[in-house]
Structure 1
Protein backbone atom coordinates (compact mmCIF):
# COMPACT_ATOMS: atom_id res chain seq x y z
CA UNK A 1 0.00 0.00 0.00
CA UNK A 2 2.87 2.34 0.70
CA UNK A 3 3.89 1.94 -2.96
CA UNK A 4 0.54 3.48 -3.97
CA UNK A 5 1.08 6.42 -1.61
CA UNK A 6 4.65 7.00 -2.84
CA UNK A 7 3.46 6.82 -6.46
CA UNK A 8 0.75 9.42 -5.83
CA UNK A 9 3.30 11.64 -4.09
CA UNK A 10 5.96 11.49 -6.81
CA UNK A 11 3.45 11.74 -9.66
CA UNK A 12 2.10 14.94 -8.11
CA UNK A 13 5.56 16.53 -8.11
CA UNK A 14 6.00 15.60 -11.79
CA UNK A 15 2.53 16.76 -12.82
CA UNK A 16 2.83 20.17 -11.15
CA UNK A 17 6.35 20.67 -12.54
CA UNK A 18 4.98 20.06 -16.03
CA UNK A 19 2.03 22.41 -15.44
CA UNK A 20 4.48 25.11 -14.30
CA UNK A 21 6.45 24.80 -17.53
CA UNK A 22 9.21 22.32 -16.75
CA UNK A 23 9.32 19.31 -19.14
CA UNK A 24 12.16 17.58 -17.23
CA UNK A 25 9.95 15.09 -15.37
CA UNK A 26 7.98 14.30 -18.53
CA UNK A 27 11.21 13.68 -20.46
CA UNK A 28 12.25 11.32 -17.64
CA UNK A 29 8.99 9.36 -17.92
CA UNK A 30 7.78 10.50 -14.51
CA UNK A 31 4.39 12.02 -15.39
CA UNK A 32 2.73 8.64 -14.93
CA UNK A 33 0.90 6.67 -12.27
CA UNK A 34 2.97 3.60 -13.07
CA UNK A 35 4.71 2.78 -9.76
CA UNK A 36 7.78 1.43 -11.55
CA UNK A 37 8.62 4.95 -12.74
CA UNK A 38 8.69 6.25 -9.17
CA UNK A 39 10.36 3.50 -7.17
CA UNK A 40 13.94 3.95 -6.04
CA UNK A 41 15.78 0.60 -5.91
CA UNK A 42 17.32 1.16 -2.46
CA UNK A 43 14.21 2.87 -1.08
CA UNK A 44 12.00 0.03 -2.33
CA UNK A 45 14.30 -2.66 -0.90
CA UNK A 46 14.28 -0.96 2.49
CA UNK A 47 10.51 -0.56 2.25
CA UNK A 48 10.17 -4.32 1.78
CA UNK A 49 12.69 -5.17 4.51
CA UNK A 50 11.98 -2.67 7.28
CA UNK A 51 8.74 -0.91 6.27
CA UNK A 52 10.46 2.42 5.62
CA UNK A 53 11.61 3.61 2.22
CA UNK A 54 11.34 6.33 -0.36
CA UNK A 55 10.52 7.00 -3.97
CA UNK A 56 12.82 8.19 -6.71
CA UNK A 57 13.06 12.00 -6.48
CA UNK A 58 11.36 13.80 -9.36
CA UNK A 59 13.84 15.97 -11.26
CA UNK A 60 12.98 19.53 -12.13
CA UNK A 61 14.97 22.36 -13.64
CA UNK A 62 14.65 25.87 -12.19
CA UNK A 63 15.58 27.36 -15.56
CA UNK A 64 12.25 26.25 -17.06
CA UNK A 65 10.15 27.82 -14.30
CA UNK A 66 8.67 31.30 -14.61
CA UNK A 67 9.14 32.08 -10.92
CA UNK A 68 11.87 29.60 -9.90
CA UNK A 69 11.74 29.89 -6.11
CA UNK A 70 7.96 30.05 -5.82
CA UNK A 71 7.45 27.30 -8.40
CA UNK A 72 10.04 25.06 -6.72
CA UNK A 73 8.09 25.48 -3.48
CA UNK A 74 4.82 24.61 -5.27
CA UNK A 75 6.37 21.55 -6.93
CA UNK A 76 7.76 20.42 -3.58
CA UNK A 77 4.45 21.04 -1.83
CA UNK A 78 2.52 19.05 -4.45
CA UNK A 79 3.64 15.66 -3.09
CA UNK A 80 2.62 16.22 0.54
CA UNK A 81 -0.55 18.04 -0.55
CA UNK A 82 -1.59 15.08 -2.70
CA UNK A 83 -0.98 12.70 0.19
CA UNK A 84 -3.12 14.89 2.45
CA UNK A 85 -5.89 15.09 -0.16
CA UNK A 86 -5.88 11.32 -0.69
CA UNK A 87 -5.93 10.72 3.08
CA UNK A 88 -9.08 12.85 3.29
CA UNK A 89 -10.67 11.06 0.30
CA UNK A 90 -9.83 7.60 1.69
CA UNK A 91 -11.14 8.74 5.09
CA UNK A 92 -14.46 9.81 3.57
CA UNK A 93 -14.75 6.54 1.67
CA UNK A 94 -13.98 4.73 4.94
CA UNK A 95 -16.87 6.54 6.63
CA UNK A 96 -19.22 5.07 4.00
CA UNK A 97 -17.70 1.65 3.24
CA UNK A 98 -15.30 1.15 6.14
CA UNK A 99 -16.19 -2.33 7.25
CA UNK A 100 -14.04 -5.44 7.31
CA UNK A 101 -11.17 -5.96 4.93
CA UNK A 102 -11.95 -2.88 2.82
CA UNK A 103 -12.06 -0.78 5.98
CA UNK A 104 -8.62 -2.04 7.01
CA UNK A 105 -7.17 -1.15 3.61
CA UNK A 106 -8.73 2.32 3.73
CA UNK A 107 -7.44 2.90 7.27
CA UNK A 108 -3.93 1.96 6.15
CA UNK A 109 -4.16 4.28 3.14
CA UNK A 110 -5.26 7.17 5.37
CA UNK A 111 -2.46 6.47 7.82
CA UNK A 112 0.33 6.01 5.25
CA UNK A 113 -0.69 9.09 3.25
CA UNK A 114 -0.71 11.25 6.37
CA UNK A 115 2.71 9.96 7.43
CA UNK A 116 4.13 10.72 3.98
CA UNK A 117 2.54 14.16 4.02
CA UNK A 118 3.86 15.31 7.37
CA UNK A 119 7.23 13.55 7.24
CA UNK A 120 7.98 15.16 3.88
CA UNK A 121 7.06 18.60 5.22
CA UNK A 122 9.92 18.51 7.74
CA UNK A 123 12.10 21.40 6.55
CA UNK A 124 15.34 19.42 6.19
CA UNK A 125 17.07 18.49 2.94
CA UNK A 126 16.33 16.16 1.09
CA UNK A 127 12.69 16.36 2.19
CA UNK A 128 10.10 18.50 0.41
CA UNK A 129 9.73 20.88 3.33
CA UNK A 130 13.27 22.15 2.73
CA UNK A 131 12.41 23.48 -0.74
CA UNK A 132 9.02 24.75 0.42
CA UNK A 133 10.73 26.93 3.05
CA UNK A 134 13.44 27.99 0.56
CA UNK A 135 10.78 29.11 -1.91
CA UNK A 136 9.35 31.64 0.50
CA UNK A 137 12.53 33.01 2.07
CA UNK A 138 13.87 36.44 1.09
CA UNK A 139 16.97 36.31 -1.16
CA UNK A 140 19.51 36.98 1.60
CA UNK A 141 18.20 34.14 3.77
CA UNK A 142 17.55 31.72 0.91
CA UNK A 143 21.27 31.43 0.10
CA UNK A 144 22.07 30.70 3.75
CA UNK A 145 19.26 28.13 3.79
CA UNK A 146 20.74 26.34 0.77
CA UNK A 147 24.10 26.19 2.58
CA UNK A 148 22.45 23.75 5.02
CA UNK A 149 21.57 21.23 2.28
CA UNK A 150 24.83 19.19 2.45
CA UNK A 151 24.18 18.54 6.15
CA UNK A 152 20.51 17.69 5.69
CA UNK A 153 20.73 13.92 5.85
CA UNK A 154 22.76 14.11 9.06
CA UNK A 155 20.33 16.61 10.55
CA UNK A 156 17.40 14.38 9.55
CA UNK A 157 18.99 11.29 11.11
CA UNK A 158 19.67 13.24 14.31
CA UNK A 159 16.04 14.41 14.41
CA UNK A 160 14.80 10.85 13.85
CA UNK A 161 17.04 9.29 16.51
CA UNK A 162 16.20 12.08 18.98
CA UNK A 163 12.48 11.45 18.32
CA UNK A 164 12.01 15.09 17.36
CA UNK A 165 10.25 13.96 14.18
CA UNK A 166 7.41 12.73 16.40
CA UNK A 167 6.34 16.34 16.89
CA UNK A 168 6.24 16.92 13.13
CA UNK A 169 4.64 13.59 12.25
CA UNK A 170 3.03 11.58 15.05
CA UNK A 171 1.07 14.40 16.63
CA UNK A 172 -0.65 15.71 13.48
CA UNK A 173 -1.09 12.19 12.07
CA UNK A 174 -2.66 10.94 15.31
CA UNK A 175 -5.04 13.90 15.45
CA UNK A 176 -6.08 13.58 11.79
CA UNK A 177 -6.47 9.79 11.90
CA UNK A 178 -8.97 10.21 14.75
CA UNK A 179 -10.75 12.94 12.82
CA UNK A 180 -10.86 11.09 9.48
CA UNK A 181 -11.67 7.61 10.75
Structure 2
Protein backbone atom coordinates (compact mmCIF):
# COMPACT_ATOMS: atom_id res chain seq x y z
CA UNK A 1 0.00 0.00 0.00
CA UNK A 2 2.83 2.38 0.86
CA UNK A 3 4.54 1.62 -2.46
CA UNK A 4 1.29 2.25 -4.34
CA UNK A 5 0.72 5.61 -2.67
CA UNK A 6 4.35 6.54 -3.27
CA UNK A 7 3.98 5.58 -6.95
CA UNK A 8 1.00 7.92 -7.29
CA UNK A 9 2.94 10.75 -5.67
CA UNK A 10 5.97 10.11 -7.91
CA UNK A 11 3.79 10.06 -11.02
CA UNK A 12 2.06 13.29 -10.03
CA UNK A 13 5.22 15.23 -9.29
CA UNK A 14 7.08 13.80 -12.29
CA UNK A 15 4.31 15.18 -14.48
CA UNK A 16 4.23 18.50 -12.64
CA UNK A 17 8.00 19.01 -12.87
CA UNK A 18 7.79 18.11 -16.55
CA UNK A 19 5.23 20.87 -17.13
CA UNK A 20 7.16 23.37 -15.00
CA UNK A 21 10.21 22.68 -17.17
CA UNK A 22 8.22 23.66 -20.26
CA UNK A 23 7.01 26.85 -18.64
CA UNK A 24 10.42 27.75 -17.22
CA UNK A 25 12.18 27.43 -20.57
CA UNK A 26 9.39 29.42 -22.22
CA UNK A 27 9.84 32.12 -19.58
CA UNK A 28 13.60 32.11 -20.18
CA UNK A 29 12.92 32.58 -23.89
CA UNK A 30 10.72 35.60 -23.21
CA UNK A 31 7.22 34.19 -22.76
CA UNK A 32 5.71 34.92 -19.32
CA UNK A 33 2.37 33.21 -20.05
CA UNK A 34 2.98 30.22 -17.78
CA UNK A 35 4.30 32.43 -15.00
CA UNK A 36 1.27 34.73 -15.11
CA UNK A 37 -0.99 31.66 -15.06
CA UNK A 38 0.69 30.45 -11.87
CA UNK A 39 1.99 27.32 -13.59
CA UNK A 40 5.61 27.59 -12.46
CA UNK A 41 4.53 26.38 -9.03
CA UNK A 42 4.96 22.95 -7.44
CA UNK A 43 1.45 23.27 -6.03
CA UNK A 44 -0.38 20.23 -7.51
CA UNK A 45 -3.70 22.09 -7.56
CA UNK A 46 -2.31 24.41 -10.23
CA UNK A 47 -1.65 21.50 -12.57
CA UNK A 48 -4.26 18.81 -11.90
CA UNK A 49 -6.36 17.58 -14.78
CA UNK A 50 -9.55 15.86 -13.52
CA UNK A 51 -9.25 12.95 -15.93
CA UNK A 52 -5.51 12.62 -16.43
CA UNK A 53 -4.43 13.36 -12.86
CA UNK A 54 -7.22 11.71 -10.88
CA UNK A 55 -9.61 9.42 -12.78
CA UNK A 56 -7.12 7.57 -15.00
CA UNK A 57 -4.44 6.90 -12.33
CA UNK A 58 -7.06 5.63 -9.87
CA UNK A 59 -8.68 3.49 -12.58
CA UNK A 60 -5.33 1.93 -13.49
CA UNK A 61 -4.56 1.45 -9.82
CA UNK A 62 -7.69 -0.61 -9.24
CA UNK A 63 -7.64 -2.28 -12.67
CA UNK A 64 -4.10 -3.60 -12.21
CA UNK A 65 -4.57 -4.15 -8.46
CA UNK A 66 -1.45 -2.09 -7.90
CA UNK A 67 0.71 -4.51 -9.92
CA UNK A 68 1.03 -2.52 -13.14
CA UNK A 69 2.32 0.91 -14.11
CA UNK A 70 0.11 3.86 -13.23
CA UNK A 71 -0.29 6.52 -15.88
CA UNK A 72 -1.74 9.99 -16.26
CA UNK A 73 -1.16 13.58 -17.30
CA UNK A 74 -1.53 17.16 -16.08
CA UNK A 75 -2.97 20.25 -17.73
CA UNK A 76 -0.59 21.48 -20.44
CA UNK A 77 1.29 24.64 -19.52
CA UNK A 78 -0.02 27.63 -21.52
CA UNK A 79 2.64 29.00 -23.85
CA UNK A 80 2.63 31.77 -26.45
CA UNK A 81 5.45 31.04 -28.92
CA UNK A 82 5.10 34.49 -30.50
CA UNK A 83 6.79 35.87 -27.38
CA UNK A 84 9.92 33.77 -27.87
CA UNK A 85 13.12 35.62 -28.60
CA UNK A 86 14.22 32.58 -30.57
CA UNK A 87 11.46 32.20 -33.14
CA UNK A 88 13.28 29.50 -35.09
CA UNK A 89 14.06 27.01 -32.33
CA UNK A 90 12.00 28.28 -29.41
CA UNK A 91 9.26 25.68 -29.76
CA UNK A 92 11.85 22.93 -30.01
CA UNK A 93 13.64 24.08 -26.86
CA UNK A 94 10.40 24.26 -24.89
CA UNK A 95 9.24 20.87 -26.16
CA UNK A 96 12.46 19.07 -25.30
CA UNK A 97 12.69 20.64 -21.83
CA UNK A 98 10.00 18.40 -20.35
CA UNK A 99 11.33 14.97 -21.38
CA UNK A 100 14.91 16.08 -20.73
CA UNK A 101 13.98 17.02 -17.17
CA UNK A 102 12.40 13.61 -16.58
CA UNK A 103 15.51 11.87 -17.91
CA UNK A 104 17.74 13.97 -15.65
CA UNK A 105 15.59 13.02 -12.65
CA UNK A 106 15.73 9.35 -13.63
CA UNK A 107 19.52 9.43 -13.93
CA UNK A 108 19.88 11.41 -10.70
CA UNK A 109 18.15 8.63 -8.77
CA UNK A 110 19.27 5.72 -10.94
CA UNK A 111 23.03 6.20 -10.88
CA UNK A 112 23.18 6.27 -7.05
CA UNK A 113 21.39 2.90 -7.06
CA UNK A 114 24.12 1.54 -9.29
CA UNK A 115 27.18 3.08 -7.70
CA UNK A 116 26.34 3.81 -4.05
CA UNK A 117 25.72 1.36 -1.19
CA UNK A 118 22.19 2.57 -0.52
CA UNK A 119 20.09 1.00 2.24
CA UNK A 120 17.69 -1.61 0.93
CA UNK A 121 14.74 0.42 2.20
CA UNK A 122 15.69 3.26 -0.17
CA UNK A 123 16.21 1.13 -3.27
CA UNK A 124 12.51 0.48 -3.95
CA UNK A 125 11.59 4.13 -3.63
CA UNK A 126 14.48 5.26 -5.83
CA UNK A 127 13.58 2.57 -8.38
CA UNK A 128 10.02 3.85 -8.67
CA UNK A 129 11.27 7.40 -9.25
CA UNK A 130 13.61 6.14 -11.97
CA UNK A 131 11.10 4.01 -13.87
CA UNK A 132 8.28 6.55 -13.81
CA UNK A 133 10.49 9.38 -15.01
CA UNK A 134 11.88 7.26 -17.83
CA UNK A 135 8.33 6.21 -18.69
CA UNK A 136 6.94 9.74 -18.65
CA UNK A 137 9.87 11.17 -20.59
CA UNK A 138 9.58 8.49 -23.28
CA UNK A 139 5.80 8.82 -23.48
CA UNK A 140 6.11 12.50 -24.24
CA UNK A 141 8.55 11.81 -27.06
CA UNK A 142 5.87 9.89 -28.97
CA UNK A 143 5.19 12.02 -32.09
CA UNK A 144 1.44 12.39 -31.61
CA UNK A 145 -0.08 15.84 -30.96
CA UNK A 146 -0.19 17.36 -28.40
CA UNK A 147 2.78 15.40 -27.00
CA UNK A 148 6.26 16.90 -27.09
CA UNK A 149 7.41 14.39 -29.68
CA UNK A 150 5.03 15.93 -32.20
CA UNK A 151 6.53 19.39 -31.62
CA UNK A 152 10.00 17.92 -32.09
CA UNK A 153 8.94 16.19 -35.30
CA UNK A 154 7.26 19.29 -36.70
CA UNK A 155 10.33 21.41 -35.89
CA UNK A 156 12.44 19.35 -38.29
CA UNK A 157 9.73 18.61 -40.85
CA UNK A 158 10.46 20.20 -44.27
CA UNK A 159 7.79 22.56 -45.58
CA UNK A 160 7.10 20.21 -48.48
CA UNK A 161 5.89 17.65 -45.94
CA UNK A 162 3.53 20.05 -44.18
CA UNK A 163 0.61 17.77 -45.04
CA UNK A 164 1.96 15.22 -42.58
CA UNK A 165 1.57 17.76 -39.79
CA UNK A 166 -2.01 18.44 -40.83
CA UNK A 167 -2.83 14.72 -40.91
CA UNK A 168 -1.26 14.14 -37.49
CA UNK A 169 -3.21 17.04 -36.01
CA UNK A 170 -6.45 16.01 -37.68
CA UNK A 171 -6.28 12.41 -36.47
CA UNK A 172 -4.38 13.00 -33.23
CA UNK A 173 -7.16 11.67 -30.99
CA UNK A 174 -7.44 8.44 -32.97
CA UNK A 175 -3.66 8.02 -33.06
CA UNK A 176 -3.50 8.65 -29.33
CA UNK A 177 -6.16 6.03 -28.56
CA UNK A 178 -4.42 3.49 -30.80
CA UNK A 179 -1.14 4.15 -29.06
CA UNK A 180 -2.69 3.75 -25.61
CA UNK A 181 -4.23 0.43 -26.70
CA UNK A 182 -1.28 -1.04 -28.55
CA UNK A 183 1.82 0.99 -27.72
CA UNK A 184 1.94 1.34 -23.95
CA UNK A 185 3.34 -2.14 -23.40
CA UNK A 186 6.19 -1.39 -25.79
CA UNK A 187 6.78 1.93 -24.10
CA UNK A 188 6.99 0.28 -20.69
CA UNK A 189 9.40 -2.27 -22.14
CA UNK A 190 11.66 0.51 -23.45
CA UNK A 191 11.45 2.32 -20.09
CA UNK A 192 12.53 -0.89 -18.35
CA UNK A 193 15.42 -1.19 -20.81
CA UNK A 194 16.53 2.35 -19.94
CA UNK A 195 16.19 1.42 -16.28
CA UNK A 196 18.37 -1.65 -16.77
CA UNK A 197 21.05 0.32 -18.63
CA UNK A 198 21.10 2.93 -15.85
CA UNK A 199 20.78 0.80 -12.73
CA UNK A 200 22.40 -2.41 -13.91
CA UNK A 201 19.61 -4.84 -13.09
CA UNK A 202 15.98 -5.34 -14.25
CA UNK A 203 13.10 -3.37 -12.82
CA UNK A 204 10.60 -5.36 -10.76
CA UNK A 205 7.39 -3.60 -9.79
What's the TM-score, normalizing by structure 2? Answer: 0.79
Aligned runs of 1:111-126 on 2, under 5 Å?
A: 111-126=131-146
Kept in 2: contact 1:98–1:106 (CA 8 A): no
2:72 aligned with 1:63: no
Kindly name which structure, 1 or 2, has the bigger radius of gyration based on alpha carbons: 2
Aligned twin of 1:37: 46
Question: Once superposed, what is the RMSD of the aligned Cα atoms?
Answer: 1.9
Distance in 2 between residues matched to 1:44 and 1:108, nearest whole Å: 18
Corresponding residue number in structure 2 for 1:5: 14
State the alpha-carbon separation in 2 of the partners of residues 74 and 21 from structure 1.
12
1:62-96 deviations in Å (ceiling 9; x for gaps): 21013335211211111111001100001123232
Q: 1:85 aligns with which of 95, 98, 104?
A: 104
2:39 aligned with 1:21, yes or no? Answer: no
**Structure 2 gap segments, 5+ residues each:** 1-9, 61-69, 200-205
Task: Give 1:174's aligned residue.
Answer: 192
Q: 1:146 & 1:90 partners in 2: Cα distance?
A: 39
Residue 99 of structure 1: aligned partner:
119
CA shift, 1:136, in A, is 2.0
| Alignment check: 8 A CA contact 1:73 1:133 kept | no
Match of 1:73 among 73, 92, 98: 92
Give the conservation status (yes or no) of the 8 Å contact 2:109–2:129. Answer: yes
Structure 1 residue 164, shift from structure 2 partner: 3.7
SS of the aligned residue for 2:42 comes to coil
TM-score using structure 1 length: 0.89
| Partners of 1:33 and 1:97 in 2: CA distance | 31
d(CA) in 2 for partners of 1:28, 1:40: 15
Q: Is the 8 A contact 2:29 2:86 kept in 1?
A: no
Instruction: Output the CA distance in 2 between the equivalents of 1:69 and 1:38.
Output: 28
The answer on whether the counterparts of 1:98 and 1:104 sit within 8 Å (CA) in structure 2 is: no
Secondary structure of the structure 2 residue equivalent to 1:60:
coil
Shift in alpha-carbon separation, 1:52–1:154, aligned structure 2, 3 A: same
Structure 1 unmatched runs, 5+? none
